[in-house]
């Protein structure tokens, strides 16, 4: 008896039909909506440093990227609480909690050098030689120049 895999479904169909995914997607949409409401009340400079983590039982937990922004937001906490309570979604808001969590940076993301074998560089250069578009050709030649030296 041969195994026949189930037919693949489009991601949008999975999000609508699969119960666990549907719940996660609904929660993500809800947090996104709450984030937009929060952003509407924050100073433009603070928006990228403050994100909604959770909203339950009258408490709004906000993740802040560093202590500096957490302190600034704590000073504005009463004003922010009053402004958010004006929205229907936050009518039973009683307190705002701030948690400092620096953004995670992938190791090697900054200053990453491209490791390209000499064989791959030769293939890219050969491809570039057959291209008539000067911009694409120049881009491929720059990419081929990233080959690591033999040794």
Name the percent of the chain lying above pLDDT 70.
89
Q: Does residue 143 have a pLDDT over 60?
A: yes
SS3 110: coil
Q: What is the mean pLDDT of the chain?
A: 86
Q: What is the pLDDT of residues 104-120, one digit of tens each?
A: 876 555 555 667 788 88
Mean pLDDT in residue range 12-19? 74
Q: Which helix (H) or strand (E) holds 108?
A: none
The tokens 């809800």 sit on which residue? 30
Q: What is the pLDDT of residues 23-78, one digit of tens each?
A: 888 899 999 999 999 999 999 999 999 999 999 999 999 999 999 999 999 999 99
Return the closest-CA partner of residue 66 out of 98, 95, 109.
98
DSSP 90: G
In angstroms, the first-to-last Cα distance of the chain is 53
Sheet holding 95-100, edge to edge: 50-56, 59-64, 95-100
Query: pLDDT at position 148, please?
Result: 67
Give the torsion sign (CA, 59, 103, 77, 79): negative
Which distant-in-sequence residues (6+ apart) come within 8 Å of 59 by Cβ? 93, 94, 95, 96, 97
> Does 20 or 95 have the greater pLDDT score?
95
């Amino acid at each position: 008896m041969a195994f026949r895999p189930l037919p693949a479904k489009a991601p949008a169909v999975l999000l609508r039909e699969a119960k666990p995914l549907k719940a996660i997607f609904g929660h993500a949409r809800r947090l996104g909506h709450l984030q937009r409401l929060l952003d509407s009340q924050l100073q433009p400079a603070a928006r990228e440093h403050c994100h909604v983590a959770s909203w339950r039982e009258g408490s709004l937990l906000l993740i802040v990227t560093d202590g500096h922004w957490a302190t600034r937001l704590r000073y504005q906490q009463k004003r922010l609480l009053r402004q958010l309570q004006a929205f229907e979604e936050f009518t039973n808001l009683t307190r705002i909690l701030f948690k400092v969590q620096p953004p995670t940076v992938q190791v090697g993301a900054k200053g990453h050098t491209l490791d390209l074998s000499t064989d791959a560089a030769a293939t890219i250069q050969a491809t570039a030689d057959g291209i008539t578009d000067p911009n694409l050709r120049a881009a491929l030649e720059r990419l081929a120049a990233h080959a690591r030296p033999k040794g």
